[in-house]
Amino acid sequence: MARQPDGPPPPPTVQKLRIRYAKRGRLRFASHRDLARTLERALRRANVPMAFSAGFSPHPKISYLGAAPTGAASEAEYLEIGVAIRCDPDALREALDAALPDDVAVLEVVEAAEGTGSLADRIDTSVWRVELPGLTLAELAPAVEKFLASEVVTVAKRTKNGLRDVDARAAVTSASAGEGAGCAILHVVVRQVTPAVRPDDVLAGLAAVADLRPPLPPRAVREAQGRLDDTGTVADPLGPDRVARTRCQGAHAPI
């Protein structure tokens, strides 16, 4: 018979909450692991009644989805938590936001509605805005056209197993050139594939097809995540939960 830990099992999960947050400023350089530790400490400081796994090494029930790469800012990071006591989502958002550094902002907390599927199933695409200091629209626009006209754009990507050739073009569903903030801006919608195609891979693709090489470091911001539909729209992954909550407001205990 398998050995069991002493004491009663942890309280069950009574509510799942889905959180959208932003990472900005200096914290765009934090790794996903460092950011996860920051979030977990903030959950404790905010007195969120986390549910825990059973066993000899219980851990809080937190699921992270599609973290942005180190060096990129984001307005659309997501995680899901399980709590042992029902909480008011708005009160939890305020408490958690106050417990985090200024460069991490909790934008929304929504209760996971029954029968609406998993959050992971609603995310397969990212929308990126990449500022390119030192480049003009006249330089970027023809490079984007060449990239989109190519059937395959092979770039070398560093993975945990070493360098690997990947097709940066296949993951890009749309791209366009704009300008603002005194520089050219690349807008790109990218499918979340394996291995992941990031903004730096798209920029490597622009260098490969058009020899476009920004003279200064780019500034990438993920503006949205969601599921891409047939019209090219990236749906809000919290939308189904938000609608369900509006239709049926339940009683919640304050955090």
Q: What's the CA gap between 214 and 104, in Å, rounded?
A: 28
Q: How far is Cα 12 from Cα 52, in angstroms, rounded to an integer? A: 8
Q: What is the mean pLDDT of residues 196-207?
A: 96
- Residue 138 domain flag: yes
Q: Which two tokens stand for residue 237?
A: 């992954």
- Burial grade of 48 (CB within 10 A; 0-12, 13-18, 19 or more): buried
How many domains is the chain partitioned into structurally?
A: 2
CB atoms within 10 A of CB 1: 3
Predicted TM-score of the model (pTM)? 0.89
Same domain, residue pair 27 and 78 = yes
| Predicted pLDDT at 205 | 97
Are residue 195 and residue 183 in the same domain, yes or no?
A: yes
Residue 1: pLDDT band (50, 70, 90) is very low
Q: Does 5 map to a domain?
A: no
Q: Is residue 254 part of a domain?
A: no
Question: How many CA atoms lie less than 13 Å away from 151 in the CB half-sphere?
Answer: 0
Identify the DSSP state of 27: G
Claim to verify: residue 166 and residue 182 sit in the same structural domain: yes
φ/ψ of residue 70, rounded to 5:
-60, 130
Instruction: Answer whether residue 249 shows pLDDT above 70.
Output: no
Shared-domain flag, residues 144 and 204:
yes
Co-location of 111 and 148 in the same domain = no
Are residues 178 and 113 both part of a single domain?
Answer: no
For 25-83, what is each residue's pLDDT tens digit?
A: 999 999 999 999 999 999 999 999 999 988 778 889 999 988 899 999 999 999 999 99
pLDDT value at residue 61 = 95
- Both 149 and 162 in one domain: the answer is yes
**Is 153 part of a structural domain of the chain?**
yes
What CATH number does residue 203 fall under? 3.30.70
Alpha helices in the chain (DSSP H): 32-45, 89-99, 137-149, 199-210, 239-247
pLDDT digits (tens, 9 = 90+) for 125-142: 999 999 999 999 999 999
Q: What is the pLDDT of residues 139-191, one digit of tens each?
A: 999 999 999 999 999 999 887 778 889 999 999 999 999 999 899 999 999 99
- Indicate if 105 and 186 belong to the same structural domain: no
**Domain check: are 103 and 143 in the same one?**
no
Per-residue pLDDT at 192 exceeds 90: yes
Q: Which range of residues forms the domain containing residue 216?
A: 124-235
According to DSSP, the β-strands at 162-167 and 154-159 are: antiparallel
- Convert the pLDDT of each residue in 72-126 to its tens digit: 999 999 999 999 999 999 999 999 999 999 999 999 999 998 888 899 999 999 9
SS3 label, residue 57: coil
